[in-house]
Chains A and B, each alone.
Chain A
């Protein structure tokens, strides 16, 4: 991970990600592929935010789907019922989530380890119950339609074709470009944060909280801060997800969704921004490849989580980097 943290390495990684995102439309053949890629980008951006909390600061949240859902439902409800345009609705959702995370984070983040996991789990379940039961507002278990995303009167729908500078571009392609752009921004901000004094303080909370405190880091404040940041990440991506899919159900607030998000972090690699993107991509692709096993999806996530913990506690990408580094070191006799 040392190489990831040097500015050089992180710039190369960022460029590689951008290149992959630019290259993908040339290999993807149909709308289905674009749909999956767009979903992966949105969820990956969510997980990059979650990783700041879980991977870097070491505070496990098992209820992150709640924040994703609040963002999604804020966008859905405010635009369809209260006449908001999408961007202000998204902003309102994000501010609401930030305030909620700040209020709840103070007491919750005093807890450590399993207790923190249980508290965030409870939070997630409560939000899921509210969304399920308050049908007059949320549509209940049946879900709620979401108007398409529109910016300054320009609507972006996956079912439309758009004329831009003489080219005809499909709505699916434009949505993919938007989602890829969002992912890049999410990664850029996350990496900036990690490389700043704030990020150092956050990683120190994970490494040795008492060491951070004796050099003047107010760890309580930083834990609350990263909790809010990761919640806002989830909220904003939830909003985009809602507009993208056009219809949302309480499923997005479910415990299962929270587990999926955390599995992506653990599988891809805690504290590895690019690792968790890989984790998100794999876990969203897997159900597509194994459609026959759909009934066992939850079991599969559990199994993957367990196997990763046992055999690759650092996660896919960091483990792979480690192997690569060792191989490079072994072949030519260079200095360590």
Chain B
């Protein structure tokens, strides 16, 4: 599904991502872990077109996507959430999710200006679809709430609903459990499993080891932008390099 080959990105003297290669299979839950500053979010920004790599390739279904802006990647079925929430606080929760359906709406300019029946129908369908997604992620009771009035945990789920609304083939979740309590994290784990069960490939950056180990099929451990280890949860748990990096031994 996604193939990253020899990816390289530096900021000044800092080598944030260093000759990194890995491969995510379709339908997998693939986790990227590593200490703070290991380059996880940089990697996500590279994969979603927010940063341009210095060198290397990123293949989405065999096609090189380096250099494409995020909006075009979204059209190709790649969507993400953010570590520090990116919610449109000037809209309602439902409108945020409806925004996610943007690429599926072919509202012409004139129908929009004149609010023609075709537009009304497509907007109604869009609203129902978005409401169903909000139910799916568990913020069904915030439909009409202004996003700015929602609690943090619900906003995290709202962002996932918005990403799902774009019907991605691959969804990248940047620290979805950060700031959540135990119960919320458990619900999130179930949600990620449900998303993967629908055939969506999930790539996640996460610090919550319990969550990562129980949910992901494959893990990539980064340290100083380099691949420290890659494998299934059991392999990673036993890997001496990983233990050293995490315990500082």
Question: Which residues of A come within 8 Å of B, CB atoms?
Answer: 1-2, 5, 189, 192-193, 195-201, 203-204, 206-208, 210-219, 271
Contacts and interface: CB of A to CB of B under 8 A. Distances in A.
B216 interface: no
Scoring A201, A207, A215, A219 by chain B CB atoms within 10 A of each residue's CB, the highest score goes to A215
Nearest to B159: A211
A215 B162 contact: yes
Sorted nearest first, the 4 A-B pairs with minimum C-beta distance are A207-B88, A216-B74, A216-B103, A196-B112
A210 B73 CA distance: 13
A215 B102 contact: yes
B86 A208 contact: yes
Interface in B138-157: 144, 146
B128 to A, nearest CB: 15
Given A2-B92, A217-B71, A210 B86 contact: yes
B91 A192 contact: no
Contact of A210 (B50, B126, B165): B50
A200 B95 contact: yes
Contacts of A218: 71
A52 B82 CA distance: 28
- Scoring A1, A195, A203, A213 by chain B CB atoms within 10 A of each residue's CB, the highest score goes to A213
B115 A197 contact: no
Contacts of A193: 112-113
A207 B50 contact: no
Given A207-B89, A207-B91, A214 B80 contact: yes
A163 B143 CA distance: 55
Most buried by A among B50, B80, B102: B102
Contact of B102 (A1, A5, A201): A201
A200 B71 contact: no
Contact of A216 (B75, B92, B98): B75
A5 B92 contact: yes
26 contacts: A1-B146, A2-B146, A5-B95, A192-B114, A193-B113, A196-B107, A196-B111, A196-B123, A197-B107, A197-B123, A198-B112, A201-B102, A204-B99, A207-B89, A210-B50, A211-B88, A211-B159, A215-B74, A215-B99, A215-B100, A215-B102, A215-B163, A215-B166, A216-B74, A216-B166, A218-B71
Q: Is the interface of A mostly helix, strand, loop or mixed?
A: helix
Given A189-B113, A216-B75, 6 more contacts: A5-B92, A200-B102, A211-B82, A211-B87, A211-B162, A215-B166
Nearest to B76: A216
A197 B86 contact: no
A196 B107 CA distance: 8
Given A197-B102, A208-B88, A213 B115 contact: no
User: SS class of chain B's interface: helix, strand, loop or mixed?
Assistant: helix
Contacts of B90: 1, 203, 206-207, 271
A213 B91 contact: no
A195 B115 contact: yes
A31 B90 CA distance: 42
A218 B103 CA distance: 10
Contact of A196 (B87, B115, B146, B165): B115
Contacts of B114: 189, 192
Contacts of B159: 211
B35 interface: no
B156 to A, nearest CB: 13
B11 interface: no
B70 A214 contact: yes
B186 interface: no
A204 B71 contact: no
B79 interface: yes
Interface in B93-123: 95, 98-100, 102-103, 105, 107, 109, 111-115, 119, 123
Nearest to A271: B90
B158 to A, nearest CB: 11
A218 B162 CA distance: 16
A206 B89 CA distance: 9
Contacts of B48: 214
B240 interface: no
A2 B89 CA distance: 12
A210 B82 contact: yes
B37 interface: no
A208 to B, nearest CB: 4
B231 interface: no
B115 A192 contact: yes
B4 to A, nearest CB: 18
Nearest to B172: A214
B199 interface: no
A215 B114 CA distance: 25
Interface string B33-50: 000000000000000101
